[in-house]
Amino acid sequence: MKNLKLITLLLFVVLLSSCVSQKKYTELQNKSESYETELKACNNERLILESNLANEKNKTKNLSQQMEYFKSTNTNLLERLSDLSVVSKSGAESIKKSLEALNEQNKYIKDLTSSMQRKDSINLALVMNLKRSLDNFDDEDIAIEVKKGVVYVSISDKMLFRSGSYRISTRAEEVLGKIAQIINDHKDLDILVEGHTDTVPISTECMADNWDLSAKRATSVVRLMQTKFAVDPSRMTAGGRSEYVPKTTNETAQGRAINRRTEIVILPKLDQFFELLEPPTTTK
């Protein structure tokens, strides 16, 4: 700006000291304006260069900080690798055993899941076959359901026995024969027969109480299935539950009739089932 003022002053002095033409004056004035424009452009360019230089300095500073961070990270990684090499030497065998144990547990879970899915499929097939075979019998006398992962066939005592008796009726033999046929088709399943009574007490020469009655009724069912329908006796268990596992109240005649029943529980072979539940042994 000082240069510009000096040039202007000189021009003014020249104009005053000499008689120059208007044309000459105009030319000098145009040059002055041109110089002023160029000077402004130079100043703008200088400001841009200064701004770029500041940006480059910031970038250089950031790069320096990043380099320091990477150096620190590399140092930490090298220290960790050093520690890992020590661990791998001293604990490689332990790590290997742990991985083997995890693999065994994973295999056990997969096998267990597969077995449970297979059991559910078998249960579904059993229920469908039983319902199809027993379709012509009254639903009030026979109930088929899956409880606690196994199939239950509940038969009312009025279909199986006379009141207070453990002798199986002729009509009931047809029902047990159909059930036995399906049981014989599934050799990998066991059968638990449970007798249930109501709370009305009984005491005769042949039976001391409801425990006795429920057990004798269960025994009559397994004996018939063995002798008449060729069910393997080693697959069957007979048990009496007396009055202590009711399905409903014993306060009404209808409730007591529901509670007097024999249940045939179809389950997987117990030894295979318990083997399935055992976790795999691992080498220590």
So what's the pLDDT on residue 155? 94
Q: How confident is the model at residue 32 (pLDDT cuts 50, 70, 90)?
A: confident
Q: 108-117, pLDDT tens digit by residue? A: 677 667 666 7
Q: Is 0.75 surpassed by the pTM of this model?
A: no
Mean pLDDT value across residues 130-157: 87
So what's the pLDDT on residue 284? 46
In the chain, domain spans? 2-65, 117-276
Q: 38-65, pLDDT tens digit by residue? A: 677 667 766 766 676 676 667 677 766 7
User: d(Cα 220, Cα 157) in Å, to the nearest integer?
Assistant: 12
Mean pLDDT value across residues 2-22: 54
117-276: in CATH 3.30.1330.60: yes
pLDDT of 283 higher than 50: no
Q: 186-245, pLDDT tens digit by residue? A: 888 899 999 999 999 998 888 899 999 999 999 999 999 999 999 999 999 999 999 999
Q: What is the CA radius of gyration of the chain?
A: 50
User: d(Cα 180, Cα 169) in Å, to the nearest integer?
Assistant: 16
Phi, psi at 161, each rounded to 5°:
-135, 160
So what's the pLDDT on residue 274? 52
The 3 state secondary structure assigned to the chain is CHHHHHHHHHHHHHHHHCCCCHHHHHHHHHHHHHHHHHHHHHHHHHHHHHHHHHHHHHHHHHHHHHHHHHHHHHHHHHHHHHHHHHHHHHHHHHHHHHHHHHHHHHHHHHHHHHHHHHHHHHHHHHHHHHHHHCCCCCCCCEEEEEECCEEEEEEEHHHHECCCCCCECHHHHHHHHHHHHHHHCCCCEEEEEEEECCCCCCCCCCCCCHHHHHHHHHHHHHHHHHHCCCCCHHHEEEEECCCCCCCCCCCCHHHHHHHCEEEEEEEECHHHHHHHHCCCCCCC
